[in-house]
Amino acid sequence: MESYSPDVLISEEDIALRLEDLGRAITEDYQGQELVVICVLKGAFMFCSDLIKKIELPIKLEFISLSSYGDGTSSSGNVVLDMDISSSIAGKNVLVIEDIVDTGLTIKTLNEMLLVRKPKSLKLASLLFKPSRNEHPAKIDYLGFEIEDKFVIGYGLDYAGRYRELPYVGVLNAGN
Ligand code: IMP
């Protein structure tokens, strides 16, 4: 089996510390209310699973799957809904959990899709944000880390389906 060791950009420890802050902020902002969390598959699965453990509120968890990337590192410019959530969000507090806001096209499309369903509120938590590539500004209510324009992998994020299992956010180096 080939071995690989991407360079660490954000360590497991730094992610865990940041998640404590985000979980606390979300808990305070929605005090006494139920939250519908929508995990955007596949990239956000690890961030979502760790973050919801830090939120001290009753949560209804939903999954949605969107794709805009093929197997490469640049967007196709076209967002496709692969799998929808399974219940109504009308009148509910909805928190979308994303892995990364890059050009912003995915989250713009998702926001439009969800707003017509009349949620009580709609907010966004994203582990990462690449400001240099942003074309469609969207408010990220709970942001993990701002990063430079590098293609990152790990902690849920993939390159051609690989590296999602890494416990840190990394960048591919010449050896990979
Ligand atoms: P956007 O629509 O350009 O904002 O891209 C959003 C989606 O592209 C994310 O949900 C990721 O799945 C993917 N993506 C963007 N940048 C990266 C990256 O650096 N590594 C892995 N996936 C990325």
- Calpha distance 43→40 (Å, rounded): 7
What would the pLDDT profile of 117-128 be if each residue is shown by its tens digit?
A: 999 999 999 999
What would the pLDDT profile of 89-113 be if each residue is shown by its tens digit?
A: 999 999 999 999 999 999 999 999 9
Asked, for residue 85, whether it belongs to a domain, the answer is: yes
Asked, for residue 56, whether it belongs to a domain, the answer is: yes
Count how many domains the chain has: 1
Q: Is the CB of 152 under 6 A from ligand 1?
A: yes
Asked, for residue 129, whether it belongs to a domain, the answer is: yes
The CATH number covering residue 111 comes to: 3.40.50.2020
Asked, for residue 2, whether it belongs to a domain, the answer is: no
pTM above 0.85, yes or no: yes
Percent over 90 (pLDDT), the chain: 82
Quick check: is 102 catalytic? yes
Give phi and psi for 10, each to the nearest 5.
-130, 120
- Calpha distance 11→32 (Å, rounded): 33
Q: Is the CB of 157 under 6 A from ligand 1?
A: yes
- Calpha distance 78→98 (Å, rounded): 17
Q: Is the CB of 69 under 6 A from ligand 1?
A: yes
Range of the domain at 65: 7-171
